[in-house]
Amino acid sequence: MRLLLEGGFVVWIIFIIGGIGLVLMLERFLFYHRAQINSTEFLNGVRNVLKRDNIVEAISICDATPGPVPHIVKTAILNRDRSPEQLKEIIHETSLSEIPHLESRLNIIPVIAQIAPLLGLFGTVIGVIELFNIVQHQGFFIHPGLFAEKLWKALVSTAMGLGVAIVCYAGHSVLTISLNNIIADMEKAAIEIINILTDKNKNQ
């Protein structure tokens, strides 16, 4: 709180955008955590139900499970009578439609990480300008405590800007890994459900 009160308006701006970044990271983390399921276990359950020709139960399992993977599997089941080529195209389009929802707001985080240190540098430059203005008027008679206070105030902006940037970059990296894992599960599930439905149609 002392940093905010004494750091100047730039520090407040950094604090606000840093708070926005934290909220976005938390929202995406919870969203990805909910969307990331055990796709192998899920597909095994769907496969066992489809072997009994219980389409309604298979769709119910998909509806009860959150995330893009169950949505893809449900879409495939609803279009199970299509040819393998048509089924692949439908699943591909469904997967593409899920990507923007997964990536939503994620790109804002690295933008904050880039802006924060620049704002910090801007605040430091303003602080140094104020310091030299005082030195110009007071010369060698400037009080050491006042000099240190102004210099400390100038450096606070850079420190906060770098701190926000580090947290945002680290958070974005972790979220990107989670996103890539979800996309990999989507691709795996798409291939698996096509094989399941194709084999089922051949056996009928």
Per-residue pLDDT reduced to its tens digit, 74-103: 999 999 888 888 889 999 999 999 999 999
Helix, coil or strand: residue 71: helix
Q: What's at 116, amino acid-wise?
A: A
CB 69 within 8 A of CB 185: yes
Placement of tokens 């459900």 in the chain: 193
Residue 196's CB: how many other CB atoms inside 10 A? 20
DSSP-derived secondary structure letter, 141: G
DSSP-derived secondary structure letter, 62: H
pTM (2 d.p.):
0.83
The Cβ-side half-sphere exposure at 163, using a 13 Å CA radius, reads 13
* pLDDT band at 177; cut points 50, 70, 90: very high
- The chain-wide mean pLDDT, for the chain, equals 87
* pLDDT band at 62; cut points 50, 70, 90: very high
Q: How many Å apart are CA 10 and CA 120, to the nearest integer?
A: 7
